[in-house]
Amino acid sequence: MSGAHHGHGATTKVHEGTRIALVGSPNSGKTTLFNALTGLRAKTGNYPGVTVARYEGVTTLDDGQVVIEDLPGTYSLDPISPDEQIVADVLDPQHTDTPTPDALVVTLDATTLRRSLGLLTHVLQTGLPVCVVLTFTDELTRRQGSLDVDLLRRALGVPVLAVVSGRRQDLGRLRDLLATAQDWARPAVLPPTGTTEVSAWIASVLASAHYDVPLLDERTRRADAVLLHPVWGTLVFFATMFAFFQVIFTVAAPAQALIERFFGYLGSWVTTHLPEGWVSSFLSDAMLGGVGGVLVFLPQIALLFVLVSLLEGVGYMARAAFLMDRVMSRAGLEGRAFVALLSSLACAIPGIMATRTLPSARDRLATMMGAPLMTCSARLPVYVLLIGLVVDSGTRWGPIGAQGAIMFGLYVLGALSAMTSAWVFSRLGRSHGPLMPFYMEMPPYRMPSLRSVGLAVWDACKTFLTKIGKIILGTTIVLWLLLNLPNHSVGDMQAAGVDTGDDAAVSAYVIDHSYAAGAGHFVEPVFQPLGFDWRINVGVLASLSAREVFVATLGQVAAAEQPDDPGNALSRMTVDEGPRAGEPLFTPPVVAALLVFFLYALQCMSTIGVLRRESGSWRWPALAFGYLFAVAWVMGLLARVVVGAVT
C-alpha cells in the first residue's frame, strides 16, 4: 500500500523531527508498545501548566529516528478528567501550548474492539494521519474470538497492524510503517460524530471485519469468583498485603547486608588510609555515614516496586480498587481514589497525579489531602531504622516476624489516617452535586511483561539514586557543615575541660557546640513532650527536605560521636542532659513517637511542590503542611504516652 512511496524524498522528509503520538484507552497495551519501541531511552517531562507526566522516547527506524510520545490513556476526546483534557489539547492543532504530533498511532484492544472503536472515531476527526495497532490479538484467539485484520483495514481505510506485545517481527513491521507516516492511507469519508451514527458505523465495521466477540476469559472468571468475593476477596486482599510486607523485609535483607558490608569496608579504608582531619571526617561521616546509610535501602525500594508493578501488571490493582470502593464510599470517595492512594504507597507524587482520573474536583482535593499520609517508600528507610532500634530482627510472634508485623501495622495506620483525612476534607467541601457513577474496567488477568516490571523498578531506583545524588547529598553536606562549625581551637576545648587526645570526646564536643546543635536546641521546647532530644530534632528539621535525610543525619551524628562503631552507635546513644540524662535515647516510647510523627508529618518538598501545581495555589499545600504537622505532633505524643504505659 504505502511501500511504493518509500522513495528518497519521503524518507529524508519523514524523519527530520517527526513526532508520532500513541493514543489509546487505559489497559490497551499502549505503554507496553511504547516501551517496546523506545526501550530504555524514554525521558519524562511535564505538559505546560499541569503536572501530567509526559513520556517521550526515540525509536530507530532503518534510516533515521522518530520521536514517540506516549499520551495518557483516554476513553474519548470529550474530556471529563484532566488526563483526557491533555490528550484532547495535544491533538488539537488550535491549541498551541503543546506541539501537535505529525501522526498518531492508536492502540486498540482487540478484545474490547466495540468500545475502542469509539475512541478511533474521535481520533480520526483530528484529520492527522492515523494508523491502528491492534493489541491482544493472541488473547482474542485464546478466548475464541476472531477478527480479520485485512477486512478491518479495508473497512477503516487506515493502516491496521496486529502487534502482539514483545514480538519482534510485529515491531519490525510497525517500524517500517512508521517510516512512511506521511503516506498513510486516510479514510475517504470520516466516521460520523453523533452517538447513534457512531454505533451504527461501529456495528457495520465490525460485521464486515467478521468480528466475533471473545468469550469471557475462563481463568479470569474463575479467579474473580474468589478474588472479588465480598468475604474471600477481602481476606485474600489483606493476606496479599501482609505477605507483601513480609517479603519486602525478608528478601531484601541479604542484599542490604552486602551493601552495609561494602560501606563498612569503605569506611575502614578511609580511616586507615587517609590522614586524620576534615577530609577524612567529611568522607566517613557525611558521605559514607549519611549517603551510605540511605543507599542501604535501595534493595527494599526496588523490591517494593517489583511487587507493586507485578500486582498492577497481573491486573490485581483494579480488583483491589473494586473491593475497596465500598470502604472508600464510607470516606465519601470512590474506588478510583483508592488507586490514587494505593499508588501513594510507592510515592505520594504519582499518587497525587493519579487523582487526575477523578472527574470531581472535590474528590480530587480530598484525595490529595489524604495521599501524603499513605506510607511512601521514603518513609521505609526511616521505619526500618527505627523499628530495628527497638525490635530485634529475630523476634517472632508465632510464625510472624515482629518487624514485618509492626511495619504492616504502620501501613494500615497510614491508610486509615489517609481515609479519615479524605473523609474530613470531602465533608468540608461537600457541594450537593449529583454523585458520579463509579465504573471501572476489570482487565483480564494477564502475565505481566517482565520488561514493564523491569522498567518500573529501574525508574524507581533511578529516581531514588538521583534523589540521593541531589537532595540528600546536598542536605547531608550542609548538615555536615552545620554539625562541624563553628571551628573550635584546641585552646577553647582545653579551656572547656575536653581531653584533646581523645578523638571521640573532641568530636562530641564539636557537635554539641555546632550550629546544628543550636538549631536542635532552639526547637527543643516544641518536641520535648515527644521525648526528642536535640539530635533527633536536627534529624527532623533536616527531614523537611526529604524523609530519608533523617536516616542520613542520624548516621552522621552517630558516626561522629562513636567513630569506632557507628553501626551500633544509635542504639547505645544516651540522653546527654536534662532529667533523663544517662538513659538510652531510643526507648520504645520515643521510637513510637518518632514513627507516628513520621507517619503523619508532611516532610517532603517534592510533594508540596506537586500539591501546589496540581491544586493551582499555595493554599492547599500550606493547609496540608499545617494540619499534618499538628496531627503528627498530637499523635506522636499520644503514641509516646500509650507505649510508655504499656512497656
Is residue 513 a contact point for other proteins (CB under 8 A)? no
Least Å distance, CB 117 to other proteins, is 10
Q: How far apart are CA 177 and CA 184, in angstroms?
A: 8
Helix (H, G, I), strand (E, B) or coil at 400: strand
- Candidates 95, 167, 172, 190; binder of other proteins (CB under 8 A) is 190
Is 295 within 8 Å of 259 (Cβ atoms)?
yes
Is 192 within 8 Å of 186 (Cβ atoms)?
no
Least Å distance, CB 159 to other proteins, is 13
Pick the stretch among 198-206, 469-477, 529-537, 616-624 that binds other proteins (CB under 8 A): 198-206
Least Å distance, CB 204 to other proteins, is 4
CB nearer to other proteins: pick between 136 and 201:
201
Pick the stretch among 73-81, 184-192, 239-247, 272-280 that binds other proteins (CB under 8 A): 184-192
Site string for other proteins, 96-135 (x = CB under 8 A): ----------------------------------------
CB nearer to other proteins: pick between 140 and 390:
140
Q: Are strands 130-135 and 103-109 parallel, antiparallel or unpaired?
A: parallel
Say if residue 2 is exposed, middle or buried (CB neighbours under 10 Å; 0-12, 13-18, 19+): middle
Peptide bond into 486 cis (omega under 30): yes
CB nearer to other proteins: pick between 187 and 578:
187
CB nearer to other proteins: pick between 146 and 393:
146
Q: Are strands 43-46 and 53-61 parallel, antiparallel or unpaired?
A: antiparallel
- Candidates 79, 192, 454, 644; binder of other proteins (CB under 8 A) is 192
Least Å distance, CB 212 to other proteins, is 11
Helix axes 515-522, 503-512, angle to 10 degrees: 50
Least Å distance, CB 192 to other proteins, is 6
First to last CA, the chain: 79
HEC string of 445-478? CCCCCHHHHHHHHHHHHHHHHHHHHHHHHHHHHH
Q: How far apart are CA 280 and CA 292, in angstroms?
A: 15
Local structure of residue 4 (DSSP, 8 states): G
Size of the site for other proteins (CB under 8 A): 23
Q: How far apart are CA 316 and CA 321, in angstroms?
A: 9
Residues 143-162 interacting with other proteins (rule: CB under 8 A)? 150-151, 154-155, 157
Helices (H), 283-357: 292-295, 298-314, 316-330, 335-343, 348-354
CB nearer to other proteins: pick between 153 and 356:
153
Q: How far apart are CA 500 and CA 504, in angstroms?
A: 9
Least Å distance, CB 28 to other proteins, is 22
Is 545 within 8 Å of 475 (Cβ atoms)?
yes
CB nearer to other proteins: pick between 116 and 355:
116
Within 10 A of 401 (CB to CB), how many other CB atoms are there?
Answer: 19
- Candidates 4, 16, 188, 276; binder of other proteins (CB under 8 A) is 188
- Candidates 62, 138, 197, 212; binder of other proteins (CB under 8 A) is 197
Distances (CA, A) of 59 to 3, 5, 263, 446, 484: 19, 21, 39, 26, 51
Pick the stretch among 52-60, 195-203, 496-504, 546-554 that binds other proteins (CB under 8 A): 195-203
C-alpha cell read off for 457: 523498578
Give the closest residue to 443 by CA, choosing from 189, 135, 57, 55: 135
Least Å distance, CB 61 to other proteins, is 27
CB nearer to other proteins: pick between 116 and 309:
116
C-alpha cell read off for 105: 498511532
Question: Grid coordinates 550542609 are at which residue?
Answer: 478
Distance of CA 576 to the CA centre of its chain: 40
Pick the stretch among 199-207, 372-380, 437-445, 464-472 that binds other proteins (CB under 8 A): 199-207
- Candidates 189, 231, 447, 645; binder of other proteins (CB under 8 A) is 189
Least Å distance, CB 202 to other proteins, is 8
Residues 201-240 interacting with other proteins (rule: CB under 8 A)? 201, 203-205, 207-208, 210
CB nearer to other proteins: pick between 157 and 529:
157
Residues forming the site for other proteins (CB under 8 A): 150-151, 154-155, 157, 185, 187-192, 196-197, 199-201, 203-205, 207-208, 210
